[in-house]
Amino acid sequence: MSLYRLAWPVLAALEPETAHRAALWALRSGVAGLLFPPAPADPALRTEVWGRAFANPLGLAAGFDKNAQAVAQVAALGFGFVEVGGVTPLPQPGNPSPRLFRLTQDRAIINRLGFNSDGLAVVTQRLAALRRSGAPCLVGVNLGKNKDSADAGADYVAGVTALAQLADFLVINVSSPNTPGLRALQSVEALVSLTRAVREARSATGAATPLLFKIAPDLAVADITDICRVAVAEKMDGIVVSNTTIARPETLKSPHRDETGGLSGAPLFDVSTQLLREVYALTGGQLPLIGVGGVSSAGQAYAKIRAGASLVQLYTALIYEGPGLISEITRGLSALLRRDGFTSIDQAVGADHRGNG
């Protein structure tokens, strides 16, 4: 039995946000890194996206290290990259507790955190210190808007302006279900306006930091088509597919299944992977995609890569499986590449669309 399996009853007895804080403490203190060393690096897993070299395509999704408190320690567990956030311009507490719920029987989570954030100034300081330390971490930042902001565009511009020189990529989160009105930014007119504003802000910094949209899995087909058209036409650098869902599958068994908020974890895998497949086809493979939603095994990470993801993220599965899952997935990806005759991850990206393997 793994160390995490032994610790799970204790963690499961804690209120979810308390357990989350305990996990961050274990990382910052170095305890987690000692207990869960990374798998040896495999050259076949190396990939270059946006001119940046990723040791492997597996990353930590936004939501765990919201405030950039343990980036280097998280990366040292074996991730190829880490996405922090969502970060809002001003500090805000988020929604009232309880706001995070385990659906243990479903290997899922429902959250309605509401962009609880230390704010842009604090996160900028932490990432600047990380860069000064020389820690070899590839870091993305998920940007959000303040709940009471009257100008969403200005909020995203503020994030890009502050962080373009510090981040390896920036994610414009227009799909969290927990901030009123946010998902309306996925409409064509709003997206075009927002895209042009953040690209102008990036240009003003002198940086070439990739800008990505993060989209919802609950979009109508016409909306997906429009978003992909805008992303290509407006020269965005990629799309994160996808955020949490407001849908509640009938298969959910856990007592908290009817809580309000975004559902993540195992029930999201099929719908997010199908959306990923559609986005890859609609963009003609022109944009790097980050596949996220329900990944808990090497097979599932590989499925997203074959569906069109250049990079893959997870988060919820770590709650139930622990940090050992990271090495399990990277080792498994190496084996799956060899099985299908690929010598690199790049060869596998979008393979299902080509009928390879």
Measured CA to CA, the distance from residue 293 to residue 241 in angstroms comes to: 8
Whether 176 is a known active-site residue: answer yes
Q: How many CB atoms lie within 10 A of CB 136?
A: 9
Measured CA to CA, the distance from residue 284 to residue 311 in angstroms comes to: 17
Out of 149, 175, 176, 264, pick the active-site residue.
176
Residue 246 CA from chain centroid, whole number: 17
What are the backbone angles phi and psi of residue 238, rounded to the nearest 5°? 170, 175
8 A C-beta contact, residue 77 and residue 326:
yes
Nearest to 102 by CA among 326, 324, 317: 317
8 A C-beta contact, residue 229 and residue 221:
no
> Strands, DSSP E only, in 32-138?
47-49, 52-54, 58-60, 81-87, 100-103, 108-111
Its sign, for the CA torsion 55, 59, 62, 68, is negative
Q: How many CB atoms lie within 10 A of CB 346?
A: 16
Catalytic residue annotation? 176
